[in-house]
Every structure is written in structure tokens, then in C-alpha cells.
Structure 1
């Protein structure tokens, strides 16, 4: 039986700029609302799937009732892989995934981020995995910086750990499908990479920076299946928009820029058991969710900001050769 798990660690906002205090609100509020929408979307399209919330702390009481109504199991797991002071300025909380991995006990677990929306049954996506570990292959060029290191840098680190030192594949952290028979191997390799990372940090050397870097190494020891036909990271910021009109063919939408917008807009429908969220057909659901996430029918103010972002990007691109000439 498949379990869908969402890990989320509560840490001091000073250690995670994504949790900055805004307008006096709990900095984790957008995450909890997004998580509830995410869990609800899995429950909507996969009613018999087990849902699991993995955290190092109890959720705020205003969300507990909603979690219970969705029949979500809470699993408290300490943050043992907390990076040392000065490790990184961003994404340190992502390393909590290493603790979440150690708590897996289901026959097969789909681990997703709090800002992943399920828009259909998981059957087709998971049916193609056939006992392998499901990962989302990212198409970063070998020299592009990926949260602190490039794929070429990662190849150097993989080589030091005994793997062939070419530019390895990089897998997104928003979705991992892990059958139980592969958990021990992935954990062993993750711990090896974590110990290696701490040693290099102490020595002031290049190191793995996020859970994506560590897991991209760890899963090299197991058979893999790419989830890309069913899962995509969809950016909807004003300056970086990657909506191509084919989103309805996917099963999971990862929407990193929509915690304060699209997920917040869907939240009232999620907590209303009589709303469209729980009753419409899949085509209508995708249309309404896509509208909330800014795929189409964007408000004029959002279209204006998106257009301005496009213009700024174009100006910077045109100015790039001039800047390069000035530095030679």
C-alpha cells in the first residue's frame, strides 16, 4: 500500500529565510495552509491512500482539526541532521528529509514537498515504477549553479565517495517514490554523504548543500525510474514563468511560488466539505486549480507584473554583452 508523506521541520526563522516573519503572522502559516491543500488534493483523487505528516513538532492547534478530518497520521521525528552554524544561508531545513527517510515504514512511500498539488489518481504514475525508486530528473546544464554547487562540482564530490566522477544527474527534491526494499540502501548512502559533507564543511571545502545534492548521490545505488511524465516543477514568478499549457497531462504540480497565492486561494475550498474542490470532475478541477495558480485567466495586475518581469529580463539579457565587454 502506498503512503504519501510530507516532511516539514519547524526551525528558527533566522535559519531559514523562507520562514521570515511577515505582518506578525506565524512564518510557517503559508506552509501549513499549502500542506493542507496538498494533503487534501491527494485525498481527493486517491481516497484510499494513507497520508502521513512527518515533523519535529506538533502542528498549530488551528490546523490539527483539518489534519484529523483528512485522516492524516502525524509522525514526530527529531531534526537530527541539523546543519552546523554557518553551513548555508538557505535551504538548511531541506536536510530534514534525511531524518524523514529514517522513519519510513510503509511498503512504498511517495515523499513530496508541502507545495505539491495532486490533480489526478496516482495509479498510472506509480504503476510504471515497477519496484524502482521514482525520481524527478532536472535538466540543469553541467556548469549551472544549483543551490551552491553545479553538476560538475557534484561529480567531483561523487568521485571522492567512490562513484565515477562525471557530471551526475540531478534530481529534484519535490518528489521521491521509495519502495521499502530500497530504503536501507538509500539511508546508508545518505549517511555516508552526510558524514562526508560535515567533514568537508569543517575543513572549509566544497560540499553538498541540500537534500537534493545528497539524495542525487544516494540514489545512484538503486534502480531508478524518472517521474517526469507525471511530475513537474512549475515556476510562476513574475520574472520566471514556466507554464506551457500541458499541465493537465501531469499528476503532480510542484508550485514553489504559490504558497502565498494559489494555495492560499484554494484553502477555503479545502476546508469546506461542500465546495467544488470535493465534487467536480477532474477536467473542472484542473481548470479551477490552474486558474488559482496563475496558469490562465490571470488578474490584470498579475499580468502587468508578469509582463514587467519579462521586460526586465529582456533588458538584462541585452545588457549582458555590454557588461561582459566592460569587465574585459
Structure 2
């Protein structure tokens, strides 16, 4: 944990504040696998409850050169939920997500399922996922790992399905494991794309629109090192939902802009042209 970049912890604090002002009925828990890094980050103002959860699935970049260290920790959290005795619905979020609306606490129940997955959209989502298409085919539906909705039964089903995977070569992240079990029919799930959107705000790819603020949860992977740390710096001034939305508009590139979209198209065209030259 000591090597974890500070922007991840800034993202946790910003996410916690977004939940505070957008969905006051939800409880926020931060799972960590070590306790000796906590004093450097002040979460008290954002109401973060911290639980230490030892890692079982953690893989290092030494063991898997192409992996993302710690990326399988989500599976440890799922296993923890599988052991809970609760009728609650849980949402596992990446630290570059923000909650901007009140979440339906009975979403899964209303949709008749125990698991809710976010289906990735072709484009930049596929480009950065690093899924081993050569082994599973190009027509596979990719599942995102940034937002996972589950109840206790759903967590048990995921753990059982992952345990049945015998060949794990090329599976580097929790997204890869969830994609495999979802496409092999080992679990039943519903899509949560009506509630969640992965939004790209970089010049090389943009899929932003003002209507994005109607989603309940937004994932901003291109803002984890810039926009979200700026939200963290101003966290004491985010005391309401309106403050949150205004800050997101001001400190990130999540805005509908003909100019930015045109620059992005020119950037991609230039890059593709140079690639063919």
C-alpha cells in the first residue's frame, strides 16, 4: 500500500464527499490491506469508515509483467461480501468514480437479479482494457470493474464462478475475470448502464455530454491525476450536491463543448494519419 500513488487516496476522499452530498442514506467503507499508511491521509471530514482486509488474490507486477498491481483486490472485497449476513445491496466503486445522484437501494431487487454489471462500449473502453481477445474471441462482451452492484447471494455466485476457472492465463484484472464468467454463462446478471457511465475526457477520445449529469454514478478514468485531485483540494467547499456539480464542471473536462470535440477529432485524425504514413 505504501507505493500506492497519492491521487488514489485523493480520489477516495472525493468519492466519499460525493456520496455525502448526493446520497445521504448510503454507508461508505474503504477496504485496505494494510493499516500503516492511514495517518498520511485525513478522511475524517468525508466520513470514511476503514476496514483492513487482507489480500488473497493480489498479484504483483513481478509475477505478471502486464498486470496492474493490486487490481484483483476487488475480488477479495467480493469474497468479504459473500460472507456477510445481510439483505443490503452493495456497490463496489473505483476511486476515480463520483456519485452524483441518489442510488436506488433496491436496484437489484427491482430488476430481479443478484448482480449488476456495467457493459463496456466499443471504442476507448476496449482499447485500454487489455483483455486477451485472442483466447476468447473478438465478439465477447466486456464487463467493467469500476462499478459492481451485488448482494450477498450475488457475491457468492461470483466467487463460485471464478473458482471454477482453471486456466487463468492472460486474466490480469477483475474486469477480465468478471468478463469471462459473464460470457460463459456461469452467472446471471443485469446491466447497470442506465445508472452508470464511463466518461472519457481526454483529447484522444471524448464521449462527454451535458446529459451525463443525469447518471447516478460517473467514472472519470482520464481525470484521476488532474480533475479529481483538484476536487480533493477544494473538498472543504463541497457542502451540497450543487457544489459538487459546479466543482465537477469547473475542475474537470466533463463538459459538452463543440470546440473540445472538434480538437479531439483533429487530434485523432492527425494521430491516425501519422500512423499510416
TM-score (norm: length of structure 2):
0.82
Please say if residues 81 and 99 of structure 1, whose CA atoms lie closer than 8 Å, have aligned partners that are also in contact: yes
Return the alpha-carbon distance in structure 1 between the equivalents of residues 100 and 8 of structure 2.
Answer: 19
Aligned residues of 2:18 and 2:244 also touching (Cα < 8 A): no
Take 1:309 and 1:183, find their aligned partners in 2: how far apart are those partners?
Answer: 40
Question: What does residue 291 of structure 1 align with?
Answer: 250
**Which of residues 51, 60, 78 is equivalent to 1:75?**
51
Distance 1:108 1:116 in 2: 18
Q: 1:109 to 1:124 in 2, by over 3 A?
A: closer
Distance across 2 between alignment mates of 1:293 and 1:71: 24
Please give the TM-score of this superposition, normalised by the length of structure 1.
0.71
Which stretches in structure 2 are left out of the alignment for 5+ residues? Answer: none
Q: How does 1:96-115 map to 2 (within 5 A)?
A: 96-104=73-81, 105=84, 106=86, 107-115=88-96
State how 1:23-172 maps to structure 2 within 5 Å. 28-58=5-35, 59-64=37-42, 66=43, 68-83=44-59, 85-104=62-81, 105=84, 106=86, 107-123=88-104, 126=107, 128-140=110-122, 147-151=129-133, 153-155=135-137, 167-172=139-144
User: How many pairs align?
Assistant: 265
The 3 A distance-change label for structure 1 pair 307 and 29 is farther
Instruction: Give unmatched runs, 5+ long, in structure 1.
Output: 1-9, 13-18, 20-27, 156-165, 201-206, 324-328
Once the 2 structures are TM-superposed, how far is the Cα of residue 280 of structure 1 from its aligned partner?
Answer: 5.1
In structure 1, C-alpha distance between the alignment counterparts of 2:256 and 2:96, rounded to whole Å: 21
Aligned to 1:163: none
- Which residue is equivalent to 1:188? 160
Bigger Rg, structure 1 or 2: 1
| 1:279 corresponds to 2:227 | no
Distance in 2 between residues matched to 1:292 and 1:69, nearest whole Å: 21
In 2, Cα distance between the equivalents of 1:237 and 1:146? 13
Change (3 A) 1:146 1:177: same
Change (3 A) 1:146 1:266: closer
Structural RMSD (CA)? 2.9
Q: Specify whether residues 94 and 225 from structure 1 end up closer, same or farther in structure 2 by C-alpha distance, changes over 3 A only.
A: same
What CA distance in whole angstroms lies between the structure 1 residues aligned with 2:167 and 2:30?
29
Give a deviation string over 1:187-241, Cα, whole Å, max 9, x none: 0112333x521xx4xxxxxx32221110122344332111111211111123222
Shift of the 312–46 alpha-carbon distance from structure 1 to 2, 3 Å rule, reads closer
Compute the displacement of 1:152 (Å). Answer: 5.9
